[in-house]
A and B are shown apart, each in its own frame.
Chain A
Amino acid sequence: MQMDTREVACGAIFVVTAALFAYGTVDLPMGSSIRMGPGYFPLMLAAILGVLGFVILLKGFGREQSPIGGIPWRGLLFILAGPIIFGLTVRGLGLAPAIALVAAIATLASSKATPVLIAAIVVGLVAFCVIVFSYGLGLPYALIGPWVAPLVPGV
Chain B
Amino acid sequence: MELLDNLYIGFQASLAPVNLFYCFLGVLLGTLIGVLPGIGPTATIAMLLPITFGLKPETSLIMLAGIYYGAQYGGSTTAILINLPGESSSAVTAIDGYQMAKQGRAGPALATAALGSFFAGSVATVLVAVFAGPLTEIALQFGPAEYFSLIFLGLISSVALAHGSVIKALAMIVLGLLFGLVGTDVTSGAQRFTLGIPEISDKLEFVAVAIGVFGLAEILRNLENEHDRDVMVTKITGLLPSKEDFKAMVGPVLRGTALGSALGILPGGGAILSSFAAYTVEKKISKHPERFGKGAIEGVAGPESANNAGAQTSFIPMLTLGIPANAVMALMVGAMIIQGIQPGPNVAVEQPSLFWGVITSMWIGNLMLVLLNLPLIGLWVRLLTIPYTILFPAILVFCSIGVFSVNSNVFDLYTVAFFGFIGYVLVKLGCEPAPLLLGFVLGPMIEENLRRAMTISRGDWTVFFTRPLSATLLVISVLVLLVVFLPSVRKKREEVFVEED
Footprint of B on A, CB under 8 Å?
Answer: 6-7, 9-10, 13-14, 17, 21, 24-25, 28-29, 32-38, 41-42, 45-46, 48-49, 52-53, 55-56, 59, 66, 68-72, 74-76, 79-84, 86-88, 90-91, 95, 98-99, 102-103, 106-107, 109-113, 117, 121, 125, 129, 132-133, 137-141
Q: Is B403 positioned at the interface, with any CB of A under 8 Å from its CB? A: yes
With a CB–CB cut-off of 8 A, which chain B residues contact A103?
393-394, 396-397
Interface size on B, residues (CB 8 A): 69
CB distance from B394 to the nearest CB of A (A): 6
In this complex, what residue of B is CB-closest to A139?
B405
Other CB < 8 Å A-B pairs besides A41-B447, A88-B410, 5 of them? A10-B168, A42-B181, A83-B413, A117-B389, A138-B47
Interface residues of B in 423-470 (CB under 8 A from A): 424-426, 428-431, 447, 450-451, 454-455, 458-459, 461
Q: Is B227 positioned at the interface, with any CB of A under 8 Å from its CB? A: yes
Complex CA gap A47/B388 in Å reads: 42
Contact between chains at A6 and B192 (CB < 8 Å): no
Contact between chains at B219 and A52 (CB < 8 Å): no
CB distance from B486 to the nearest CB of A (A): 18
With a CB–CB cut-off of 8 A, which chain B residues contact A87?
400, 404, 410-414
Complex CA gap A137/B400 in Å reads: 16
Contact between chains at A42 and B178 (CB < 8 Å): yes
Contact between chains at A49 and B224 (CB < 8 Å): no
CB distance from B400 to the nearest CB of A (A): 4
Q: Is B7 positioned at the interface, with any CB of A under 8 Å from its CB? A: no
- Per DSSP, chain B at the interface is helix
Q: Which of B14-22, B93-101, B183-191, B233-241 lies on the face that meets chain A?
A: B183-191
Complex CA gap A80/B392 in Å reads: 12
Complex CA gap A35/B447 in Å reads: 12
Q: Is B273 positioned at the interface, with any CB of A under 8 Å from its CB? A: no
Q: Is B33 positioned at the interface, with any CB of A under 8 Å from its CB? A: yes
Q: Give the contacting residue for A102; candidates B36, B175, B396; CB below 8 A.
A: B396
A-B pairs with beta carbons under 8 Å apart, 28 shown: A13-B425, A14-B175, A21-B178, A34-B458, A34-B459, A35-B455, A41-B181, A42-B192, A49-B174, A69-B224, A79-B396, A83-B396, A83-B416, A90-B400, A95-B401, A98-B400, A99-B397, A102-B400, A109-B392, A110-B223, A110-B392, A113-B389, A129-B398, A132-B36, A133-B401, A139-B47, A139-B405, A141-B404
CB distance from B215 to the nearest CB of A (A): 10
Contact between chains at A49 and B178 (CB < 8 Å): yes
Q: Is B497 positioned at the interface, with any CB of A under 8 Å from its CB? A: no
CB distance from A83 to the nearest CB of B (A): 4
In this complex, what residue of A is CB-closest to B194?
A24
Contact between chains at B167 and A56 (CB < 8 Å): yes
Contact between chains at B459 and A125 (CB < 8 Å): no
Complex CA gap A91/B197 in Å reads: 19
With a CB–CB cut-off of 8 A, which chain A residues contact B185?
38
Q: Is B417 positioned at the interface, with any CB of A under 8 Å from its CB? A: yes
With a CB–CB cut-off of 8 A, which chain B residues contact A113?
389
With a CB–CB cut-off of 8 A, which chain A residues contact B174?
45, 48-49, 52
Q: Give the contacting residue for B397; candidates A7, A66, A88, A129; CB below 8 A.
A: A129
| Candidate in B188, B388, B431 with the most chain A CB atoms within 10 angstroms | B188
In this complex, what residue of A is CB-closest to B444?
A41
Contact between chains at A13 and B429 (CB < 8 Å): yes
Given A24-B192, A41-B181: A106 and B224 interface contact (C-beta under 8 Å):
no
In this complex, what residue of A is CB-closest to B459?
A34
Contact between chains at B401 and A129 (CB < 8 Å): yes
